[in-house]
Structure 1
């Protein structure tokens, strides 16, 4: 788990600002859930890989608890309970820290932040495409010009396994193995539990298809599914999503991976991840989960969503693209030259802040030359100097450190100084 220093937060907060602006632009209302949840919230459909990496503990009341490893399940829990009577659609957003017991390496931290968008109430492709558009806008707005969508559809895989007679819990295991690139184990488990091997052979063929731009490849896959109505319907759903998304997103960025699966067991339809060319880990991901709210005792409510990996995007911007942000200095620095000037200086600082001017005050009793050097080093342009003379005469001395100019005014003219400082930002 990492410490974040002031210079780290300049980039980190830039990412959060972009996420929050997308909340506003797309109409997503921000929520928060506790970082500690009941184990059962994640036990059913989080997938084997996440279950093995959760921080699990028992409290003094003998309740089995976890530090949340992801956010979609807690949000679905809220929709099933506290928001169950709200009119649909529901657009919910979050910025949250999550925890997984990963081996620390680039792109994997034991504590990491997600910025999420969850849309409840619609099964139609237009909802899936809204989520893809949000993620596309995020990467464009944050300054990552090169990226692509890795797209798949769990519904196709599940339909073929349904046709083969494989139980849902075994399907979850198979999809988890595929997600971890353990293809041979997935195939063996499928064949062991299948009552009809023909659909499994088709699934195996799908997994081996090389990825390609989505629109053309989905049409090819549709032709392989003539004998499997449910799987063909899922493929047609993906075709509709890709066709609609191509009207607002560059179609060359939408790459279909027929064998793609995600480790979370609650996905039912389209799934995706976003990759940049300079890293092998996903920077964002999401998909459709039409049965998750019902799993928590709610009414059947379809859902689709995405999580931006804020921590990974931060690392990508800084480590791979070399982006840095300077810690923003205050607009003005107030330097009292004696203890007698402290009260007057504090009052001036308060008045400036009331006008929206970021103001720091000298608290170390340094000499004026040292204060000036410090301000110049930090990039602070305006310095207000308060000595005994200024206190007695109710005046203010303002020095513009860029222009090497100094002016005086009365306390009543503070508004003029405020305008000067605002103009020099």
Structure 2
């Protein structure tokens, strides 16, 4: 047999033994935290029709999707992102529901990119979505849930950066940017390519002071006080309304007792275009990218026929495990199975012992003595 068959493709890997036990432990901890907030589990397919993740939906770029065809010729994709799938499912089965809907989920997502930089193409994500809830209280619930869930894994040194895409959109509107320029600028700023952003604004003849304001968005981060500077820079009601919402959100987080874990970043702009308001990312030591991402998406469900506001988040389990390992945080795992070695003459006795252990909830494995390194003498 070819040795190549023993290896995995680039960007995926096997997980087994104690490492997998640690992963299961973290997953169970996160799922329990979400359950305590009243969220019910839902499962969606690993692959969907291409249109669920199309450009119009505002999700992952087509070139980063794993695409294939079914026998009818339909284009299918492995899910790169859970939120559109949950939106589709909510629109299909809960179209007439007006009460708040709380969904939670877990599974693997797939991104077909050659620019790995240490990232995996297949990762496990776990998250929650709150549908039919437009309130600031819903935003505060989602953020506090994320913080409590991370704390329950053992992480202590992390920060939630919160922004609002409406602030940036208000500045773009004030500057008279068309949609194409706004999207191009958004991509450059979210990618931290500020020189290219400056060139773009010059090419599109964006005048001062609007050009400077748009470029300064990246510097608008920090504690609650940073919002005052952001408010002073904006001269339009859309951006100012976003600032007021963030200030109100902070007051609610203080009621939850979680405000110490948040900061603000008005230069935060997601590649997912379906976000319509508050967005956030969680960062911690030892991991170069966000371990949690989320935000409000009040127009996404409308794409599937259900006009409804919604807010949610996704946690990257693999990144959280990396952080826990890098910070030397112990993860409680179940004890390995008790190994009971038997010989032909004492099998009945060892079987009874194993059954007794299993009856007490203790894992037990029966092993022939000659295969387990135990002498028969």
TM superposition score category, shorter chain reference: 0.7 to 0.9
Q: Aligned pair 1:64/2:69, yes or no?
A: no
TM-score (norm 2): 0.86
* Contact 1:45/1:265, CA 8 A, preserved across alignment: no
- Cα gap change, 1:92 to 1:337, in 2 (>3 Å): same
> Could you tell me which residue of structure 1 aligns to residue 37 of structure 2?
26
- Please give the alpha-carbon distance, in whole angstroms, between the structure 2 residues aligned to 1:362 and 1:24: 39
* Structure 1 residue 320: Cα displacement: 4.5
The DSSP-based 3-state class of the residue aligned with 2:64 is: coil
> Could you tell me which residue of structure 1 aligns to residue 322 of structure 2?
315
* Contact 2:57/2:274, CA 8 A, preserved across alignment: yes
- Cα gap change, 1:243 to 1:146, in 2 (>3 Å): same
> Could you tell me which residue of structure 2 aligns to residue 218 of structure 1?
227
* Structure 1 residue 362: Cα displacement: 2.0
Counterpart among 233, 237, 240 of residue 248 in structure 2? 240
* Contact 2:285/2:327, CA 8 A, preserved across alignment: no
Question: Which deviations, in whole Å up to 9, do the C-alpha atoms of 1:106-153 show, x marking residues without a partner?
Answer: 4x2111011101111121111111111011112211111111111111
- Please give the alpha-carbon distance, in whole angstroms, between the structure 2 residues aligned to 1:6 and 1:100: 26
* Structure 1 residue 188: Cα displacement: 5.2
- Cα gap change, 1:201 to 1:18, in 2 (>3 Å): same
Q: Aligned pair 1:5/2:10, yes or no?
A: no
* Structure 1 residue 178: Cα displacement: 1.8
- After TM superposition, the structure 1 stretch with the greater mean CA deviation from structure 2, 351-360 or 89-98, is 351-360
> Could you tell me which residue of structure 2 aligns to residue 408 of structure 1?
none
- After TM superposition, the structure 1 stretch with the greater mean CA deviation from structure 2, 127-136 or 46-55, is 46-55
Asked which structure has the greater CA Rg, the reply is 1
- Cα gap change, 1:46 to 1:280, in 2 (>3 Å): farther
> Could you tell me which residue of structure 2 aligns to residue 230 of structure 1?
238
* Contact 2:50/2:77, CA 8 A, preserved across alignment: yes
> Could you tell me which residue of structure 2 aligns to residue 284 of structure 1?
292
- Cα gap change, 1:268 to 1:169, in 2 (>3 Å): farther
- Please give the alpha-carbon distance, in whole angstroms, between the structure 2 residues aligned to 1:344 and 1:100: 52
* Contact 1:49/1:176, CA 8 A, preserved across alignment: no
* Contact 1:70/1:98, CA 8 A, preserved across alignment: yes
- Cα gap change, 1:367 to 1:11, in 2 (>3 Å): closer
- Please give the alpha-carbon distance, in whole angstroms, between the structure 1 residues aligned to 2:222 and 2:112: 34
Counterpart among 23, 47, 52 of residue 63 in structure 2? 52
- Please give the alpha-carbon distance, in whole angstroms, between the structure 1 residues aligned to 2:251 and 2:208: 30
- Cα gap change, 1:127 to 1:198, in 2 (>3 Å): farther
- After TM superposition, the structure 1 stretch with the greater mean CA deviation from structure 2, 156-165 or 65-74, is 156-165
Q: Aligned pair 1:269/2:270, yes or no?
A: no
After TM superposition, the structure 1 = structure 2 runs for residues 376-415 of structure 1, keeping only pairs within 5 Å, are: none
- Cα gap change, 1:232 to 1:52, in 2 (>3 Å): same
Measured on the aligned residues, the alpha-carbon RMSD in Å equals 3.0
- Please give the alpha-carbon distance, in whole angstroms, between the structure 2 residues aligned to 1:72 and 1:265: 12
Q: How many residues align?
A: 365
- Cα gap change, 1:257 to 1:10, in 2 (>3 Å): same
- Cα gap change, 1:230 to 1:371, in 2 (>3 Å): farther
Q: Aligned pair 1:42/2:44, yes or no?
A: no
Unmatched 5+ stretches in structure 2 = 1-11
- Please give the alpha-carbon distance, in whole angstroms, between the structure 2 residues aligned to 1:136 and 1:155: 24
Larger RCO: 1 or 2 (CA < 8 Å, sep 6+): 2
- Please give the alpha-carbon distance, in whole angstroms, between the structure 2 residues aligned to 1:254 and 1:71: 24
Unmatched 5+ stretches in structure 1 = 373-425
> Could you tell me which residue of structure 2 aligns to residue 148 of structure 1?
159
Q: Aligned pair 1:204/2:209, yes or no?
A: no
The DSSP-based 3-state class of the residue aligned with 1:62 is: coil
- Cα gap change, 1:7 to 1:122, in 2 (>3 Å): same
- Please give the alpha-carbon distance, in whole angstroms, between the structure 2 residues aligned to 1:272 and 1:85: 29
* Structure 1 residue 242: Cα displacement: 1.9
> Could you tell me which residue of structure 2 aligns to residue 416 of structure 1?
none
- Cα gap change, 1:105 to 1:43, in 2 (>3 Å): same
- Cα gap change, 1:86 to 1:65, in 2 (>3 Å): same
